[in-house]
Amino acid sequence: MTDTSWRQTSSMLKTRRPAPRVLQIAICNPPFNLLNGDVLDQLAATLRSLTAHDTGAVILGSDLPDIYISHYDVGEIADLGDLIPHPALSPPAALLRGALHLESLLSLIGLRWLVRKSPLGGMSNLNSYHECTALLRSVPQVTIAMINGRAFGGGCELALACDLRIMVDTPAEGIAGAGQAIRGSGIGQPEITLGLIPGGGGTQMLTRNLGPAKAIEICLEKPLLRAAEALQLGLVTRLVPARDLLQTTLDMAIKLSKRSPAAVAAIKDCVHIGASSSLFAGMQREKAHFAVCAMQPEAQVAMHKYLDGIDGILGSQGGLEAFEDLDEGIFSDLTPGSAAAASSAAATAATAKPKSL
């Protein structure tokens, strides 16, 4: 299904389907594209509505030129202070963790709307943020952040929750250069400058992506990175000129949308959950996922097709070009249900074939 026209699917999100099995989401919260509880709720609802059969890749971008996500709405963060009647009564972290857990439980029974009308509303938004980023890390679709400009604070964390990040290669924020009608770009976690820490997963994802030393450096000493620095560190996957950003991201999404959703979900789980466990537990997790993927009907069809043509791929006449169809996802259809559909079609054709006398 393809629909290249934009649809305003909620008050702060636009979506379109620029290619089969690809969904493009644009966050629209002018003038600065701030994240807030409403944006996160709408994004989470969109992600939960996806099916592995219809969608294989999601592009998460912005509807505003030159801005991905400026940061999280500081006003909503400041509202957390309403919980404290006096600065001297700041509660211990353990008590706040308990309150966050309670809010999560209440949300499971449909009472989040009520919590948001109470002084615990800030807790609700914080939980919503983590629920949304957890979805990005776990859905069976490949998620790609298309970073068209600044991505500070919550914008950096939202991008880090995606599987891949393609960023515009423009000068740094504030030094765009004469004659360039752009705001510039940059990515990082500047919360420390307001006496805060990253609250949407930044400390954890930076540590897992870059290691503890670089995570500490970015969060404390170098909160704003230029695009080239982000690429050098491995924080973003690729830098491209502004004119090529959409097409490059779309080309990647089309290719990756053809991957097996079961394998995509399994890889994400092994990396994000398994790799945070002990080596033994992580290996056990990988083995189980491997077996599940090998039993998928579509994987069975693909493996038998590979075995039938293995001489042409690995033999003396083979080469790297023999792997192109595999890499591009056109060697075998891995869409859920495709194996059953092909088997049914073959059976129907066999039944319809006239019998010879």
Active site positions, annotated: 157, 191
Rounded-to-integer distance, Cα 295 and Cα 115, Å: 44
Residue whose entry in the numeric block shows the structure tokens 């039938």:
308
Question: Taking Cα atoms as reference points, which of 72, 65, 70, 74 lies closest to residue 187?
Answer: 70
User: Which distant-in-sequence residues (6+ apart) come within 8 Å of 305 by Cβ?
Assistant: 331, 332
The secondary structure of 170-224 as a DSSP string is -PBTT---TT--S--B-EE--GGGGT----SSHHHHHHHHH-HHHHHHHHHT--E
Is 10 within 8 Å of 42 (Cβ atoms)? yes
Note the Cα 195 to chain centre separation in Å: 28
What number of other Cβ atoms are within 10 A of residue 203's Cβ? 19
Note the Cα 323 to chain centre separation in Å: 27
What number of other Cβ atoms are within 10 A of residue 290's Cβ? 13
Amino acid at 347: A
User: Which distant-in-sequence residues (6+ apart) come within 8 Å of 290 by Cβ?
Assistant: 266
